Amino acid sequence: MAEFKYEIVEEIAVLSESPKGWRKELNLVSWNDREAKYDIREWAPDRQKMGKGVTFSLEEAAILKKALNTIEDL
């Protein structure tokens, strides 16, 4: 598997935490020295391991925010 690198540019929110300490987080992350994107995924307590996640450009995050604001139960 090819090596990759990441940098958490900004920590935005912790969405949840499991009993084992893994945290589901929303962060601004730069992957392989590319432009940072909004990222939701689970991270191990030491941030050396991560789960699968999803990334959003600024435009995609804005669309997601607008869609979430239409949900009345939130």
Task: Quote the number of domains for the chain.
Answer: 1
Q: Is residue 18 part of a domain?
A: yes
Q: Tell me the whole-structure pTM to 2 decimals.
A: 0.87
- Give the rounded distance of the alpha carbon of 74 from its chain centre: 20
Q: Which of 69, 4, 64, 61 is nearest to 38 (CA)?
A: 61
**CATH number assigned to the domain comprising residue 13:** 2.30.31.70
Q: Is residue 74 part of a domain?
A: no
Answer whether residue 50 shows pLDDT above 70.
Answer: yes
Domain range for 56: 6-69
Q: What is the pLDDT of residues 19-47, one digit of tens each?
A: 999 999 999 999 999 999 999 999 999 99
Residue with tokens 């307590």: 45
d(CA 60, CA 52): 18
Q: Is residue 50 part of a domain?
A: yes
What pLDDT score does 4 carry? Answer: 83
Confidence of residue 74 (pLDDT cuts 50, 70, 90): low
